[in-house]
Chain A
Amino acid sequence: MTASARQGLRMLARDWRAGELKVLAMALVVAVASITSVAFFGDRVSQALVRDAHQLLGADLVLVSDHPFAPHFSEEIGRRGLRSAAAVTFISMTMSGEKAQLAGVKAVTENYPLRGRLRIAPAPGAPDADATAGPPRGKVWIEERLVTALEAPVGSRIRLGRSELEVAAVLTLEPERSANFFNVAPRLFMNAADVPATGLVQTGSRVWHYLYAAGPRDAIARLEEALKAKLERGQRVENLETGRPEVRATIDRAQRFLGLTALLAAILAGVAIALGARRFVQRHLDGCAVMRCLGATQSTLVRIYGLEFFLLGAVACAAGALIGYGAQAAIAAMLGDLLRAELPAPTVLPAVQGFLVGIVLLLGFALPPLLQLKNVPALRVMRRESGNPRGGALAAYAAGLGSLAALLIWQAGDMKLGGYVVGGFAVAVVVFAAVAWLVLKLLTHPALMRRVRSSSLRYGLSQLRRHAGSNAIQTASLALGLTAVLLLTFTRNDLVEAWRRSAPPDAPNRFILGVQQDQISDVRAFFSANGLTAEFYPMVRGRVVAHNDRPVSAADYEEERARRLVEREFNLSFMEAPPSHNRITEGAWFRPDGRELSVEEGIAKRLGWKVGDELRFSVGGETFSARITSLRALRWDSMKVNFFVITPPRLLAGFPASYISAFHVAPAQAAALDELVKRFPNLTVVDVGAAVRQAQGVVDQLINAVQLVFVFALAAGLLVLYSALVATEDERRREAAVMRVYGASRAQVAGSQRAEFLAMGAIAGLLATLGAAAIGQLIARRVFELDLPPSLGLWIAGPLAGIALLSLNAWISSRKVLRASPALILRDSV
């Protein structure tokens, strides 16, 4: 080992013992722990969550076909060692005594579902429980609506085709239930082996065949690849993306929350490191000058301190990676019932990633100030004023942010999110420092100062003015730390609430279909008489026949989903204003008298439609054309009625329309629905409550997991605050000592410190509140596509937190200063 290396080790031990490195080390540990735990999340838990969401599909992979699958499909699944199940669905009349009701029959093999679960209850309204397998032979499970409609309680027998089967349970939850809300009759579950005896499935019967597969992720991906090549016409692969867009959206949002939080923790830790390194440098200027005096060359100093920091970084990053590993284990344990035994073991890669992030953070944020040490002139030993480092915090932040931005591209690959966070912070740092400087100058304007009577207040304010530059940086740093803390407390709660509201408890849990034009006023009257609120949308079924005057055919599209979209009839609607849960993303809402359309942006993208394109629709044999003038973003997880295409009322008014609505029914109002169906027998009421509850459960569990990662970011924010507070401690102690030497009373010293800190606290608190509110809005709108109402709590708590924090600091700081003898302070700092 060279002399410099040995010296680096010794200096590390000595500085650690003196407490100079603890904040830096903690910041690194927090950054690495947060990045690592989230990387583990990506590597392990979030994959499990995605897979878990497959429970909503019933499997990892679902094949759907309008004709029976050839045997080689299930053989292929078996050959690969994957689990498989099968089902058929069809609509059929069920009978019990005099009563008859159309039912959506689903006949499943006994090992269905492969993911997720079926839940059944012994009687309507009784507590339900997981079913370990599908219904046994000779038995059926039916939905409560069917129990009511057929007056067929558990234990009774119902007729289905040529068979008579026993009602064995009330079905309360089925994985795939919400996959298609439309045309759904109440569900009847039966054993697949009983189907032939019913005689219902024959050539030409409208039957859907399902093949399910589950197993390790890679194997499923390979299977999907292999099977896709063998699909025949009328067959398709269903995955989470195509089957459950609302669940996909929820999981994406959770991953963004996680990514954002980890970034926030890392960037804050970077700021804490920059502040800590700056303080370290200031405290080591004299020592370096002495070492230069004692013969150390510039390169010796670089080697000594470089090695010291590298060793510190390595140890802290390793500790952070270990903590991150522990945290993900804790998170996995917390989500115990969501994540099952087949979780892939964590790999070492996230730890390596976290470790490297830590080292880059240290290099980016600590190296620039550290390099200043080598430039300290030896003359400083005789003239203290020579050799103060130039540049300072802002340059260090810029360097650190730059390296962090580079890191993001490498680590997360999410340019949008990274751009918002890094860009936002860069802007915040500059704006905060500029505004703080300006306000400090205004606040301490001589014209204003002359009006101040109290001498300590005046002294405190003039101190602010004298050090406007460094105070502005300190205030900006404080504001930054406080922004993070506010963001992670108030704004986080608001965001989480907004997220929860996206699947709120009063989200629609029933769909009503098939209200005819001549019934609509009676149905509306029935709703208001029974205290139900619902918005009814007209619906016209139409097929798109031409795009920009070119006939549209399924053959034009490669993608299976696009082919299906153009093959089937669309639900078109007409209205004057856009629905409140839709957002125009491009173009403008149509004019009431125009031949214009508004199209959902996803379908437009998929089918290659743009604003300005002309579409021709065929409705009941007649056609009409209109131009797309706007694209809309929909909230698929809103459980509200959504339409791909909306026109002005004038365009569709002549066509036969039925009405549809989604609405919320409290349990006490359920009886009214029975009454509704009795009065209007042609209506179809679909219960999607179970699906809503299922989606809410997933959201709740994801939120809990995300909250744990917030702890790291909060810790990083607090470290920034601490670092910013102690940044000028030494200088203030010296100044207070000088004041006391010149006869200032203890009250005057304390008073001037209080005035100084209070002003800074108020400015920092206000800036942080503005920052947290702005960043919160930006994140809500741009990243999560949520509406975030302004928070009164934030506007009260933010400034108060700034003032309270700095008042506390003023109190602690003056106690420290007043306790020590001025002579001692001055001698130490000569």
Chain B
Amino acid sequence: MDFSAAAQTAGTSSNTKSSSVLLSAQGIGKTVKSGESDLVILRDIDLEITSGEAVAIVGASGSGKSTLLAILAGLDTPSTGKVLLQDTDLFALDEDARAELRGRTVGFVFQSFQLLPALTALENVMLPLELAGSEDAEARAAAILRRVGLGERLQHYPKHLSGGEQQRVALARAFVVRPKLLLADEPTGSLDAESGAAVIALLLEMNREYGTTLVMVTHDENLARRSQRVVRLAGGRAVK
């Protein structure tokens, strides 16, 4: 299975235009102070991602791909440009309003899993539902954990799970709120090849099932080739 297959199965029309644009980045630049001089991390990035599309952002280390993902998610602020998520200008909102929008719209998968160590697998998946005030958080979390093959591990703490299992819990947490957009930052970066492959298979499968738009940062060219579209970054610019 590849990204394009996932996108097509989800039945979204990646070719039709602006009305179905979910995420749009216009003229994004990011500069940070480094000692006396300015360090340019991103410059003049334009990007449009339509609903159901699967996009891979690739590039060498330090090319700015994780910064771009953080800006697209509203976690980091750009020095120039703007990001529209469902036609809402992310950076016209304050930090709290962005958080609320994220809570309703975006799911995350991180390289380092970011599970809360004091919470069981089940509680980690329940957390976004609880924050949204969901009444049936436990049942929904348990169901999706069974879906990712961890039905027997509901009460286990992260430290008692393997890396692959932890990332599957993270996937369950990301999908349980049925996000429109899933942002993944090197989701296999902390895993061995076998676990990584299994996690990617599961991610793509669920992406198809839930009809989610996927934006994934990776340095794995093989993985990138399986996407519908590849955005390549070098020296902070998008290159063809």
Confirm or deny: A678 has a beta carbon within 8 angstroms of a beta carbon on chain B: no
Given contacts A6-B130, A294-B103, A382-B110, A20 and B118 within 8 Å (CB-CB): yes
Is A377 touching B190 in the complex (CB atoms < 8 A)?
no
Pick the most buried of B69, B104, B119: most chain A CB atoms within 10 A of its CB.
B119
- Among B101, B128, B131: residue with most chain A CB under 10 A: B131
Q: Mark B172-206, 1 if CB is under 8 A from A, else 0.
A: 01000100000001000010000000000000000
Which residues 182-234 of A sit at the B interface, judged by CB distance below 8 A?
none
**How many residues of chain A are within 8 Å of chain B by beta carbon?**
33
Q: Is A295 in contact with B132, judged by CB distance below 8 angstroms?
A: yes
Q: Is B117 an interface residue (CB 8 A)?
A: yes
- CB distance B118 to A382 under 8 Å? no
72-90 of chain B: CB within 8 A of chain A: 73-76
Q: Is B130 touching A290 in the complex (CB atoms < 8 A)?
A: no
* CB of A258 to closest CB in B, whole Å: 40
Scan A638-659; emit 1 where CB is below 8 A from any B CB, else 0: 0000000000000000000000
What is the bound-complex CA distance between A722 and B133, given in angstroms? 38
Interface contact A294-B128, CB-CB below 8 Å: yes
B70-A379 in contact (CB<8A): yes
| A463 close to B (CB within 8 Å) | no
Contact B133 A297, beta carbon cutoff 8 Å? no
Within the assembled complex, what's the spacing in Å between the Cα atoms of A742 and B96? 42
* A389 CB–B CB distance under 8 Å: no
Is A293 a contact partner of B112 (Cβ separation < 8 A)?
no
Contacts known (A292-B99, A381-B114, A828-B117); A3 close to B130, Cβ less than 8 A? yes
Q: Is B39 an interface residue (CB 8 A)?
A: no
Pick the contact of B102: A17, A289, A293 (CB < 8 A). Answer: A293
Counting CB contacts under 8 A, is B66 at the interface? yes
Q: Are B127 and A294 in contact (CB under 8 A)?
A: yes
Taking the closest CB of chain A, its distance from the CB of B196, in whole angstroms, is: 15
CB of B159 within 8 A of chain A?
yes
Kindly identify which residue among B66, B116, B119, B128 contacts A295, using a CB–CB cutoff of 8 Å.
B128
Could you mark each residue 353-396 of chain A with 1 if its beta carbon is under 8 Å from any beta carbon of chain B, else 0? 00000000000000000000000011101110000000000000
Does A381 contact B75, Cβ atoms closer than 8 Å? yes
Q: How would residues 52 to 76 of chain B score, 1 for a CB under 8 Å from any chain A CB and 0 otherwise? A: 0000000000000010011001111
Given contacts A298-B95, A382-B185, contact A290 B116 (CB under 8 A): yes
Do B75 and A382 touch (CB < 8 A)?
yes
A298-322: contact bitstring with B at CB < 8 Å (1 yes, 0 no)?
1110000000000000000000000
Q: A14–B123 contact, CB under 8 A?
A: yes
Q: Answer yes or no: B27 CB below 8 A from chain A CBs.
A: no
Q: Are B99 and A290 interface neighbours, CB within 8 A? A: no
Contact indicator A830/B118 (Cβ below 8 Å): no
Q: Is B235 an interface residue (CB 8 A)?
A: no
Q: Is the CB of A17 within 8 A of B70?
A: no
Pairwise interchain contact B118-A381, C-beta atoms closer than 8 A:
no
Please tell me the number of chain B residues within 8 Å of chain A, measured between CB atoms: 37
Q: In this complex, what residue of B is CB-closest to A823?
A: B163
Residue numbers in A under 8 Å from B127 (CB-CB): 290-291, 294
B123: chain A residues at CB < 8 Å are 10, 14
Whether B116 pairs with A296 at a CB distance below 8 angstroms is: no
B131 touches A300 (CB 8 A): yes
- B3 beta carbon closer than 8 Å to chain A: no
Query: Whose C-beta in chain A lies nearest to the C-beta of B120?
Result: A14
B100 at interface by CB-CB < 8 Å: yes
Q: B111-146 interface mask toward A, CB cutoff 8 Å, 1 = contact, 0 = none? A: 110101111000100011011110000000000000
Would A286 and B133 count as touching, CB distance under 8 A? no
A7 located at the interface, meaning its Cβ lies under 8 Å from any Cβ of chain B in the complex: yes
Residues of B within 8 A of A17 (CB): 118
Q: Which residues of B contact A555 (CB under 8 A)?
A: none
Give the CA-CA distance A222 to B133 in the complex, in Å. 62
- State whether A296 touches B95 (Cβ < 8 A): no
**Is A827 close to B, CB under 8 A?**
yes
Question: Is A287 interfacial (CB-CB < 8 Å)?
Answer: yes
* Shortest Cβ gap from A798 to chain B (Å): 37
Which of A290, A377, A828 has most chain B Cβ within 10 Å? A290
Contact B75 A287 (CB under 8 A): no
A569 at the interface (CB under 8 A from B): no
Question: Do the beta carbons of B133 and A3 come within 8 Å of each other?
Answer: yes
Q: Is A166 an interface residue (CB 8 A)?
A: no
A297, B118: Cβ atoms closer than 8 Å: no
- What A residues does B133 contact at CB under 8 A? 3
Contacts of A827 in B (CB 8 A): 163, 190
Question: Are B103 and A296 within 8 A (Cβ)?
Answer: yes
Q: How many angstroms from the CA of A14 to the CA of B119 in the assembled complex?
A: 7
* CB–CB B118/A18 < 8 A: yes
| Contact present for B108 and A286 (CB under 8 Å) | no
Contact (Cβ within 8 A) A382 B128: no
> In whole angstroms, how far apart are the Cα atoms of A299 and B66 in the complex?
28
Contact call B130/A299, Cβ cutoff below 8 A:
no
A294 to B102, CA, bound (A): 6
Residues A295 and B117 in contact, CB atoms below 8 Å apart: no
Closest to B127 in A: A294
Alpha-carbon separation in the docked complex, A381 to B184 (Å): 12
Q: Which of A778-830 contact B (CB under 8 A)?
A: 824, 827-828, 830
Whether A286 and B114, one on each chain, are in contact in the complex, defined by CB atoms closer than 8 angstroms, is: yes
Q: Which residues of A contact B102 (CB under 8 A)?
A: 293-295, 378
Interface set, chain A 28-74, CB cutoff 8 A to B: none
**What B residues does A383 contact at CB under 8 A?**
70
CB of A299 within 8 A of CB of B75, answer no
Any B CB within 8 A of the CB of A15: yes
Cβ–Cβ contact A298 & B130, under 8 A: no
In the complex, the chain A residue whose C-beta lies closest to that of B132 is A295
In the assembled complex, the CB of A3 is this many whole angstroms from the nearest CB of chain B, namely: 3
| Cβ contact within 8 Å between A296 and B75 | no
CA gap between A122 and B117 in the complex, in Å:
78
Closest A residue, CB atoms, query B76: A379
Tell me the nearest residue of chain B to A378, going by C-beta. Answer: B75
Residue among A287, A299, A382 with the highest chain B CB neighbour number at 10 A: A382
Instruction: Compute how far the CA of A59 lies from the CA of B77 in the bound complex, rounded to whole angstroms.
Output: 80
Tell which of B99, B112, B118, B185 touches A378, judged by Cβ atoms closer than 8 Å: B99
* Chain A residues within an 8 Å CB radius of B159: 824, 828
Q: How far, in angstroms, from A383 to B108 measured CA to CA in the complex?
A: 14
Known A7-B130, A293-B108, A827-B190; contact A286-B116, beta-carbon cutoff 8 A? yes
Complex CA distance for A17 and B117, rounded to whole angstroms: 12
* A162 → B minimal CB distance (Å): 92
Q: Which of B104, B127, B159 has most chain A Cβ within 10 Å?
A: B127
- In the bound complex, CA of A286 to CA of B108 (Å): 14
A294-B103, A298-B95 are contacts. A287–B130 as well, Cβ < 8 Å? Answer: no
- 24 A–B contacts from the bound complex (CB under 8 Å): A7-B131, A14-B118, A18-B117, A286-B114, A289-B114, A290-B116, A292-B99, A294-B103, A295-B99, A295-B100, A295-B104, A297-B96, A298-B99, A299-B96, A300-B131, A378-B99, A379-B70, A381-B75, A382-B76, A383-B70, A827-B163, A828-B117, A828-B159, A830-B112
5 shortest interchain CB distances as A-B pairs? A295-B103, A3-B133, A18-B118, A297-B96, A830-B112
Instruction: For the A-B complex with A294-B173, A297-B100, A830-B190 known, give 7 more contacts whose Cβ atoms are closer than 8 Å.
Output: A7-B130, A14-B119, A18-B118, A299-B96, A382-B69, A382-B185, A828-B159
